[in-house]
Amino acid sequence: MQQIAWQRELLRIIFIVATATAAGMTFERPLLGALIGLAVSQILMFKRLNELFKWSNNLGPAPQDSGLVGYSADILIRKERVLNKKIARQTKQLKRIAEGIESLQDGVLIVDQAGYMNAFNRASCHLLGLRVDTDKGQHITNLIRAPRFVKYFEKGDYSEVLELESPHRLNLIVQVQVTQFGIDQKVIIVRDVTERQRVEQMRQNFIGDVSHELRTPLTVVNGYLEMLADSDMNPGIMRAVRQMSEQTERMKSLVNDLLHLSKLESNNAGIGNEWFEFQPLCAVSVDQLRAYTPVSLTGEKFPEAVIHCDCASDIEILGFADEISSILSNLITNAIKYGRKEGKAAQVHISIKDHNHGIEIAVADQGEGIAPNHLAHLTERFYRVDESRESTIGGSGLGLAIVRHALEHHDAQLKIDSTLGRGSCFSFTIPAERIRYKSQ
């Protein structure tokens, strides 16, 4: 096809030049005739090029020509048709995707890198009170002004989701998740989690109420058992009373831990506004636990643990002193309980050191250690590594769950390093924003 177009173009020029040369020969001026022929074929070519130019600018019809210009126009027309079909198909797909996003129950917002709103769907209006006519182009923090959201958005670390009250409707809790999209856009997904929060609240209240209600009968039973233990009875009954009394003690500590955990779970009191010194707090926890010797169910007393405390530091922490104290007590108690090896006294080492992003506090022991497959589950409620071993020591299985929640209130996470046969180290880093030095 392309070859034919070339041939036609050449034949046309040759025909015009030959005719003009023949006409020139009749006047005995063949060269002049050939030149005139060339000029005419050039003018015709310009005319066709002009038609092509006008057509390409939508100023006229496509050139009707059997030569190169017509051939090129045909190719362009065919390509345009294919492209138009593709565009129509993609426009349809885009429309369907846009309709899908519009029909979502979750809010979807697209903002640019700086946070200015490019687009949002109808659910965003319902969940956040956005208005189609005025809010496009606004900065996201002008529309969701909650300080927690502003901090979350500006920090740029979106590995976790954020839950907050909707700025639009009272009692509506929304979960916000930001995802980086391409190099210069962010997608914000907003989900209604009110119902889930309500059920979670009910669960927490239920556990809190039941634990609270169990406290009084347990105290009464314990009181009577103590009275019986003081009386004169035969040794068989005495042993039974002692065991009952130990079990009620365990139940009391379980109920207390449940109450503590449910209080921590429902406490979203922000960052805490109290600066407190770390060293005296740590010293009190250590002193209280120095004399702590776990007792097995068979009445066997473990040797007293040796506690080394390298906590000389003048740091102050912003947060909740009672929660940090509870974290330390739980970790030290565990190190005393599980840090023994071959019947020897547990060696507990508490340390504090500067870390890249804050202050790292660690409680280490040289006990039997924990197998790697357990590590990820240790902070789950009631998780125990070895039921038979721990039931003789008597833990509630809630200690590390309490530690995890209390650490969350201080923007910190529990890190557990453990090697079987060599011991474990439980550590956490209090971020630099929550630390100041008393001496400065």
Burial state string for 69-80 with b = 16 or more CB within 10 A and e = fewer than 16: bbbebeeeeeee
- The residues binding ligand ADP (CB under 6 A) are 330, 334-335, 338-339, 365, 367, 370, 378, 383-385, 390, 395-401, 424
Minimum Å gap between C-beta 192 and ligand ADP is 33
State which residue, 148 or 263, has the beta carbon closest to ligand ADP. Answer: 263
Q: Three-state SS for 382?
A: coil
- Nearest approach in angstroms of CB 345 to ligand ADP is 14
Complete DSSP assignment for 272-299: --EEEEHHHHHHHHHHHHHT---B-TT-
Q: Helix, strand or coil for residue 159? A: coil
Task: Choose between 129 and 394: whose C-beta lies nearer to ligand ADP.
Answer: 394
CA dihedral 326, 330, 332, 335 (to 10 degrees): -170
Q: Which is nearer to ligand ADP, 124 or 366 (CB)?
A: 366
Contact 161, 177 (CB under 8 A): yes
**How many angstroms separate the most distant Cα atoms in the chain?**
154
Quote the least distance from Cβ 191 to ligand ADP, whole Å: 31
CB 304 within 8 A of CB 424: no
CB of 257 to ligand ADP, least distance (A): 7
Q: Residue 291 contacts by C-beta under 8 Å, 6 or more apart in sequence?
A: 304
Smallest gap, in angstroms, from Cβ of residue 319 to ligand ADP? 21
Nearest position to ligand ADP, beta carbon: 395
Report the distance separating Cα 30 and Cα 400, nearest Å. Answer: 108
CB of 334 to ligand ADP, least distance (A): 3
Residue 331 burial (CB < 10 Å; 0-12/13-18/19+)? buried
